[in-house]
Amino acid sequence: MSKLIPVVMAGGTGSRLWPLSRESFPKQFLSIDDSGFSLLQQTLQRLSSFEGCEVAAPLVICNENHRFLVAEQLREIGQLGTNIILEPMGRNTAPAVALAAHLAAESAPGDTLLVLAADHLIKKVDVFHDAIKLAMEYAAKEQLVTFGIIPEHPETGYGYIKRGSAFCDACFKVDAFVEKPCLEKAQAYLASGEYSWNSGMFMFKADCFLRELKQFSPEIYQVTQRAINESQRDMNFIRIDEAVFSPCPSDSIDYAVMEKTHDAVVIPIDAGWSDVGSWSSLWDVSEKDVQGNVNVGEIISIDSSNNYISSEKALVATIGLDDIVVINTDDALLISVKDRVQDVKKVVDELKRRNLHHYRQHSSSYRPWGKICDIDSGDHFQVKKIIVHPGEGLSVQRHLHRAEHWVVVSGTAKVSVDNNEFYLSENQSTFIPAGSVHTLENPGKIDLEMIEVRSGHYLEEDDIERLHDRYGRV
């Protein structure tokens, strides 16, 4: 019996959810509700209770910059193997899925791929599961299935799928894929009852997709086949060679295959779906209080209604505000009327123009060994919190311009400074002079947490000379 292989596309920057979403930590890696799990993790956990067939380990496609973040989030939910495909550059959805299909076809060409985006919300999981079961019936008949979202309002931000003749009450032949419409056309689509929003979710057998891809987009087929044949396995990653992959055309699945094949079918569903494309769309699908407010964090709202307010740490209080979005992070604050949140991209563009780091990274960032968080900084000093997971460690390195003082807060550190090896436990510290060769690892069973104080006249991250690194970083 064939298996169901989730193929999760985890690229993209999610700039419309700034300041929570940033280039180094985009929205698919954020936890935006009270579950404590990111959108990527929820995408995979949604399938943990599926009973229609065996669900295999997922294939997750991301870019090089997010590889350790993806690995950490898969590790947290027990789904990490050698199952992360690293694209050297973005080439849209058709090449990304083709890489996964070629990889799956190496061992089981008849297995069924369930293609999902990592940054979608689905509230009605049981409805989604029923749609998957129905889709499997048609995928087994060598149909290429797409999932349409039954529209709730005339939306101009989505593409649409027009359904044709019916296979059954819940599955239809695809008549046409339609680009994002103007408002007048969107209203007509809604009134007709013949159109669904294009969710970007698909199901098909690996060999069926590759057959259609080879017919309608042969260049994508050939480049991606060669890219998988010449890929390298490295830790949890499947590395795609840049020189091989770069000539690949950049096309969506819709354009490359679905609009051209005669075997496309659509299953319209009402599963509480959202692509979380803006703060207003997140307000739409979130639970609200009696005043219509969505409050995330420590919030006090007085005579305020229909707001979305999120604060990571600080208390936020509002008085007499309606239809407002407030997003407060460690280093940035966004305040917008709710019907202007699409213009958040203009803020991101301005940050880029000024070359400010706020569009690119948070005060916290992930490393293959754990996490590093900014605490304070000033002239010639920086204070950071460092978390190293059990069994992991920093590279063997040295800095020409800065010295470091390490203080262990919890756990145990195995430290080496100029070939002098020793252990530090809670409340113990050490000093690393500029120019010293040093490294650190966590030999214990719990996370190692420590405070690092950097001092010197140049403190940037490029003052790291890695002499040896277990994670293959340069």
Query: Mean of the pLDDT values across residues 300-312?
Result: 95
Distance CA 293, CA 325 (A): 10
Place of tokens 């050939």: 222
Is residue 33 predicted with pLDDT exceeding 80?
no
Confidence tier at 235 by pLDDT (50, 70, 90): confident
Structure confidence by residue, pLDDT tens digits, 57-67: 999 999 988 99
Distances in whole angstroms, Cα of residue 247 to Cα of each of 63, 84, 166, 221, 392 = 17, 22, 40, 12, 37
Mean pLDDT score across all residues of the chain: 93
Alpha helices in 198-340 (DSSP H): 206-216, 218-229, 242-245, 253, 279-285
Confidence tier at 460 by pLDDT (50, 70, 90): confident
Structure confidence by residue, pLDDT tens digits, 329-349: 988 999 999 999 999 999 999
Is residue 470 predicted with pLDDT exceeding 80?
yes
Is residue 236 predicted with pLDDT exceeding 80?
yes
Query: Mean of the pLDDT values across residues 362-379?
Result: 87
List phi, psi (to 5°) of 397: -150, 170
Between β-strands 396-398 and 402-410, what pairing exists: parallel, antiparallel or unpaired? unpaired
Taking a C-beta distance cutoff of 8 angstroms, is the pair 59, 8 a contact? yes
Distance CA 309, CA 295 (A): 5
Structure confidence by residue, pLDDT tens digits, 140-177: 999 999 999 999 899 998 999 999 999 998 999 999 99
Which three-class secondary structure state does DSSP give residue 459? coil
DSSP state of 262: S
Place of tokens 């989730």: 6
Report the top-level CATH class of 364-468: mainly beta
Report the top-level CATH class of 4-274: alpha beta
- Predicted pLDDT at 326: 97
Is residue 2 predicted with pLDDT exceeding 80?
no
Structure confidence by residue, pLDDT tens digits, 80-134: 999 999 999 999 999 999 999 999 999 888 899 999 999 999 999 999 999 999 9
DSSP states along 12-78 = ---GGGTTTSBTTB-GGG---STTS--HHHHHHHTTTT--SSPBPPPEEEEEGGGHHHHHHHHHHTT
Taking a C-beta distance cutoff of 8 angstroms, is the pair 251, 220 a contact? yes
Given its phi and psi angles, is residue 406 left (phi above 0), alpha (psi -120 to 50 degrees) or beta? beta
Domain ranges of the chain: 4-274, 279-353, 364-468
Distance CA 407, CA 449 (A): 9
- Predicted pLDDT at 52: 80
- Predicted pLDDT at 1: 58
Lowest mean pLDDT among 11-15, 89-93, 147-151, 320-324: 11-15
